[in-house]
Amino acid sequence: MEKKVKQHTKAVHAGDRKKDGRHIPVTTPIHTAASFFYESMEKLDRVFGREEPGFSYARYDNPTNGALEELCASLESGHGALACSSGMAAIHVALLTALTDRRKSVVAAHALYGATVNLLMNVLEPLGVAVRFVDICDLAATEAAIREAKPGCVVMETISNPLLRVGQIDRVAELAKAAGAALLVDNTFATPLLARPMELGANLVVHSLTKFLAGHGDVLGGVVVSDATHYDTLRTLSRTFGPVMGPFESYLAMRGIKTFAVRVERQCANACRVASWLRDQPEVGRVHFPADPAHPDAATIRRLLPEGLYGGIVSFELANAGKQEVFRFMNALRLVVPATSLGDVHTMMLYPAMSSHRDLSPKHRERMGISDGLVRLSVGIEAVEDIIHDLAQALENSGVAGASA
């Protein structure tokens, strides 16, 4: 029996060390050429027509991008992948891929990244795509929504942003398949270390490479991983409107991915410690974290996520706090970086009402459960004692402690 290679090993080796002439580079080189040619026009013709493997024009494919795509497809157990210029570009092309030759209707989890909600409501709906939101963690409600809407695509996140809900991907996949719909899963928060949605029945998986996979805050990018059924459509669409990643960014992302598994393990361990500490603080009204036995999706989490690996994100609500109190608290941070991203090696904090979900109306945020006192903490790889010390001093020095006492 062939030994199944672990994620840590795939992250280090997949996609690299292709023969280049008479030598084999240790890491994938950065190929900056905009176009490629061959010894004969006949061969170039076959490559252009996708009758023979090869590279012809950088909007179509690129050796550096191809190595990254091979790596991501390997990590997600997919047929192939497309490296994109951003996570939102990846979600956009994945949605278009799913809806090609299908009913222009989407059933989406109501707990999604704000920009994804905007894409669905403010870009696709005006173009004639019907969009219906549902509590994806409620299987009965999801089944009813799929039956009534007859969607071409169902959209969810493995671990939702920012309240960290965990839906039953395998069960939703069965419902989508029975309805003839494609299942699209954003796996950014979980990473392939915690979950591989394609192994659970998803057709398309997207990541913001900027986050945990690249992991160092120095590259913007996204990726779509596809099953065999959707791969040709995905590549054809990308050839037409060109959402592709640049080779420098692909190189940086690939370099970052080599250490993602060990980074995420450390971030998961640190996040568990931080979440446990936060629960004991009187200034904190509520902590959202998948390891909590009282989590609303605890049974699903036990079934789908590896024991001890619950992600590197902790969201929590400051008691009786609004925008001003949250700003005072975040301004008092000294180690934790108050920046608009997540998944970096350093710990970061974000205020969803101001950033990730800013463009949603206050009522929409309220329906999603995003309060004005909610902050999202992306836990880094620092010594966890230093992270906790910074949070403690910020609670004390911001006056939040006195206001909530």
Q: Which amino acid, one-letter code, is at 283? A: E
Tell whether 36 is covered by a domain: no
- Among 212, 231, 257, the domain-final residue is 257
Specify whether 266 is located in the same domain as 180. Answer: no
User: In sequence order, what are the residues at sequence separation of 6 or more whose Cβ sits closer than 8 angstroms to the Cβ of residue 280?
Assistant: none
Q: Kindly tell me if the per-residue pLDDT of 402 is higher than 70.
A: no
Specify whether 95 is located in the same domain as 244. Answer: yes
- Is 113 a catalytic site residue? yes
Specify whether 129 is located in the same domain as 265. Answer: no
pLDDT by residue (tens digit) across 92-144? 999 999 999 999 999 999 989 989 999 999 999 999 999 999 999 999 999 99
Give the total number of structural domains in the chain: 2
Q: What is the CA radius of gyration of the chain?
A: 22
- Using DSSP, how many helices (H) and how many strands (E) does the chain show? 16, 11
Alpha helices in 258-383 (DSSP H): 260-279, 298-304, 323-331, 362-368
Q: Which amino acid, one-letter code, is at 189? A: F
Q: Kindly tell me if the per-residue pLDDT of 20 is higher than 70.
A: no
pLDDT by residue (tens digit) across 308-328? 999 999 999 999 888 899 999
Q: What is the pLDDT of residue 404?
A: 40
Tell whether 51 is covered by a domain: no
Specify whether 340 is located in the same domain as 367. Answer: yes
Q: Which domain holds residue 307?
A: 260-404
Specify whether 239 is located in the same domain as 287. Answer: no
Q: Which position among 50, 59, 150, 171 bears the catalytic label? A: 59
Tell whether 119 is covered by a domain: yes
Q: What is the pLDDT of residue 372?
A: 86
In terms of Cβ atoms closer than 10 Å to its own Cβ (0-12, 13-18, 19+), residue 135 is middle
Specify whether 77 is located in the same domain as 220. Answer: yes
Specify whether 218 is located in the same domain as 115. Answer: yes
Specify whether 277 is located in the same domain as 375. Answer: yes
Point out the least confidently predicted range of 51-60, 151-160, 165-174. 51-60
Specify whether 238 is located in the same domain as 292. Answer: no
Q: Which position among 10, 60, 61, 113 bears the catalytic label? A: 113
Residue 216: CB atoms within 10 Å:
16
Q: Which position among 10, 61, 165, 186 bears the catalytic label? A: 186
Specify whether 104 is located in the same domain as 235. Answer: yes
- Is 60 a catalytic site residue? no
For 95-125, what is the HEC assignment? HHHHHCCCCCEEEEECCCCHHHHHHHHHHHH
pLDDT by residue (tens digit) across 186-233? 999 999 999 999 999 999 999 999 999 999 999 999 999 999 999 999
pTM summary value? 0.94
- Among 205, 231, 257, the domain-final residue is 257
Tell whether 238 is covered by a domain: yes
Q: What is the pLDDT of residue 25?
A: 84
- Is 59 a catalytic site residue? yes
Tell whether 290 is covered by a domain: yes
CATH of the domain at 68: 3.40.640.10
Tell whether 97 is covered by a domain: yes
Tell whether 53 is covered by a domain: no
Specify whether 156 is located in the same domain as 278. Answer: no
Specify whether 84 is located in the same domain as 157. Answer: yes
Tell whether 12 is covered by a domain: yes
- Among 224, 257, 290, the domain-final residue is 257
Q: Kindly tell me if the per-residue pLDDT of 238 is higher than 80.
A: yes
CATH of the domain at 315: 3.90.1150.10
DSSP strands (E only) in 342-400: 348-350, 374-378
pLDDT by residue (tens digit) across 273-317? 999 999 999 999 999 999 999 999 999 999 999 999 999 999 999
SS3 311: coil
Q: Which position among 10, 165, 196, 211 bears the catalytic label? A: 211
Name the average pLDDT for the chain.
Answer: 93
Point out the least confidently predicted range of 63-67, 321-325, 340-344. 321-325
